[in-house]
Amino acid sequence: MRPRYVLALVKHETNTFSPIATPLASFGHGEGPAFGPEVVGRYRNTATPLAAYIDLALSRNAEIVTPVAAESWPSNACSRATFETLVRPIEDAVHAGCDAVFLDLHGAMVVDDCDDAEGEIVRRIRAIAPRIPIAVSLDYHTNLSGELVDHATVIAGYKTYPHVDMAETGRLAGSILLRALDGEIEPVMAWGSRPMLASIMRHAPEDGPSGEIVAMARAAEAGGRVLAATWLPSFPHADTPHTAVSAVVVADARRGGRGAAREVCDRMLDLAWRRRAGFDHHAPPLAESVARARTLGLANPGAPVLLIDHCDNCGSGGAQDAMKVVAEILAQELDGVAIAPIRDPVAVETMVAAGVGQRVRLALGGRTDMPAIGLSGRPLGIEGTVARITDGEFTVTGPMYTGIRMTMGRTAVLDTGRAKIVVTSRPHEPFDLGVFTHAGIDPRAQRYLMLKSRIHYRAGFGPIAAHIVECAGEGVTNADLSVYRYRKLTRPIHPLDAV
């Protein structure tokens, strides 16, 4: 008998301070969610956990059931109705009978009436099939809950940021589950958390204490004492009672795994706690950062200087139209700048109507109010020539999301003389050079590149950068956690309170 495996992807990083809504259509990189057999065609051979699950299932000659694959850019909580549309097909597939479930989840998804969407998904599957083995892969930016650990069989999360080990993580979680199905091992998990938030600008292994913690996790896995060790530095922009740094470790109960899992988990968390000050972010004033970038560029380093507008990153729920950093770049007269992307469908329409080569005067960006952090949108008055109009589509060639087709919507390039600004209709975080090259801009040939991103830009742009300068603008992905009015967070918590 061929085994029957249910493979599903439901992913959303919910920024509960975000002004951006999350309708059903937003799941699926612009194409909407995928249901049924079309999932395999869309995801096979992509660098994702789901693709790894598909490969593992094929290696077992399993019948593959793919009820849903749905992934949205980060934004505010989705509605109960949207969530049910995504989760019920998984329930139906499990109900029809299967031998195992492989889930590609995020770990920071919030529904308008549920703070722990992943916990609910796994609990509901477990209610239908109490003994079914369930593997879960998680994003690095997870707020782990006891409910998710209680109902899953195996959990593994990304160890990289930018997340270039998505497929590897799926392979790890999935292969542990397959070994359990073979009766070779008996997975057991230990998890824990600490009362602290880690600023996302300090999450990357090369920036803060995460490097040491991830190295500890890798060493524990390589040494064979545990099967999977995962450090989860939290997603501090989701205001929930379980938002905090955490860790989860899988080991083999038959080989003394229970104690080993607990010990490795506690060691990672204790190290994080001791190093907690290293996760706090301190940003210099914007004008100072832009001036520093300007000086670095004027020294002709032979490669672009990156200016990272990290407070308004759509990859974490930002509106992607806050203009504070762009305004400062123009005010300080940086020359030879390419900027991507500013989301402003109205400006795109104006440029399309004017046509390539025409002069236009725009009130660019600043269309989104951010009431959760007390900010109003402020457009930037700007003049330039329409340099290019595109369909906003490209296939990723860089190391993150390799092979995935990106859909930024109708896109136009405004050339002000000093700056070329890529203006898109849909949100997109620039982690691949395609955001520029698809519009005829060679990013390597620019003196400066301004990117609305926090860390993921490093996947594509890190290798071509001479220098990187973080620029603290404004928005709902501000690294200064004191701008957020938390209501549900469990207090006291570092760094907001004395703990």
Q: Which stretch binds Zn ion (CB under 5 A): 44-52, 139-147, 327-335, 390-398?
A: 139-147
Count, residues in the chain: 499
Helices (H), 116-198: 117-128, 146-151, 166-181
Residue 139 interacts with Zn ion (CB under 5 A): yes or no: yes
Q: Least CB distance from residue 161 to Zn ion, whole Å?
A: 7
Q: How far is the CB of 140 from Zn ion (least distance, A)?
A: 5
Q: What one-letter code names the amino acid at 263?
A: E
For residue 372, give the DSSP letter. Answer: G
In angstroms, give the least distance from the CB of 58 to Zn ion.
Answer: 27
141 binds Zn ion per the rule CB under 5 A: yes
Comparison of 141 and 494: residue with beta carbon closer to Zn ion? 141
- Judged by CB under 5 A, which stretch of 40-48, 122-130, 132-140, 352-360 contacts Zn ion? 132-140
* Cβ pair 136, 152 in contact under 8 A: yes
> Which residues are within 8 A (CB) of 275 and not within 5 positions of it... i.e. 6 or more apart?
208, 209, 212
Identify which of residues 86 and 109 has a Cβ nearer to Zn ion in the complex: 109
Comparing CB distances to Zn ion, the nearer of 313 and 425 is: 313
Residue 118 within binding range of Zn ion, rule CB under 5 A? no
Of residues 110, 93, 92, the one with CA closest to residue 15: 110
Nearer to Zn ion by Cβ, of 137 and 153: the residue is 137
Structure tokens at 337: 């700048």
**Nearest approach, Cβ of residue 359 and Zn ion (Å):** 41
Number of other CB atoms surrounding residue 170 within 10 Å: 29
The residue at minimum Cβ distance from Zn ion is 141
Measure CA 168 to chain center: 16
Binding of Zn ion at residue 310 (CB under 5 A)? no
Nearer to Zn ion, 115 or 139 (CB): 139
Question: Smaller CB distance to Zn ion: residue 239 or 429?
Answer: 429
Instruction: Compute the distance between CA of residue 185 and CA of residue 269 in angstroms, rounded to an integer.
Output: 26
Contact string (CB under 5 A) for Zn ion, positions 446-465, x = contact: --------------------
Q: How far is the CB of 204 from Zn ion (least distance, A)?
A: 11
The residues in 189-218 that bind Zn ion, with binding defined as CB under 5 A, are none
Q: CA 24 → CA 27, 85, 122, distances in Å? A: 6, 8, 21
CA nearest neighbour of 170 among 51, 33, 280, 270: 51
User: DSSP string spanning 235-273?
Assistant: -TTS--TT-SEEEEEEEEGGGTHHHHHHHHHHHHHHHHH
Nearer to Zn ion, 427 or 443 (CB): 427
- CA 426, 430, 431, 432 torsion: positive or negative? positive
Residue type, 239: D
Q: CB of residue 149 vs Zn ion: minimum separation in angstroms?
A: 19
- Cβ of residue 306: shortest distance to Zn ion, in angstroms? 20
Query: Is 104 a binder of Zn ion (CB under 5 A)?
Result: no
Residues 435 and 208: their CA atoms lie apart, in Å, by: 28
Residue 143 C-beta: closest distance to Zn ion, Å: 12
Question: Which of these ranges, 129-137, 138-146, 164-172, 209-217, lies near Zn ion under the rule CB under 5 A?
Answer: 138-146
Binding site for Zn ion (CB under 5 A): 139-141
